[in-house]
Amino acid sequence: MLSNVPWIRPVTIRLQCGLERSFSGAYDALDFLENEWPVRHGERYERAVKTCRGALNGVIPSMIAREAFVAACLEADMPAVISPRKTIPQPASGFSRAVRYNRI
């Protein structure tokens, strides 16, 4: 059994039925492509299958497989859902994050 090659950021797509589904890496994406894909043809579909397999075998960078999967989703009318990046809370005013080093 191949182990998953995780992506830095998961991909969330909107399925044709309107539900959203997230994929955390090449294994999840390949499983979906091979077992649940609505249309088993298309240039981007075939590229996504090949690149996900390549990522799992360690010969293709996982980011390339992620991009190919997103492109295949677009080709099949399942767009990626863009979620806003989490913001880091800013310190209250008057607080300095700078660290001073005193020379002795």
Distance of CA 95 to the CA centre of its chain: 36
d(CA 74, CA 1): 29
On whether the CB atoms of residues 6 and 39 are closer than 8 A, the answer is no
Average per-residue pLDDT for the chain: 84
Q: What is the pLDDT of residue 1?
A: 47
What Cα–Cα distance (Å) separates residue 35 from each residue in 25, 32, 61, 89, 98? 16, 5, 23, 41, 52
- Predicted model pTM: 0.76
For residue 67, give both structure tokens. 């991009």
Q: What is the pLDDT of residue 70?
A: 96
pLDDT in tens, 56-99: 999 999 999 999 999 999 999 999 887 665 555 555 555 455 44
Which of the pair, 77 or 104, is modelled with greater confidence? 77
Q: Express as a percent the part of the chain with pLDDT over 70.
A: 77
Closest by CA position to 33, among listed 53, 17, 19:
53
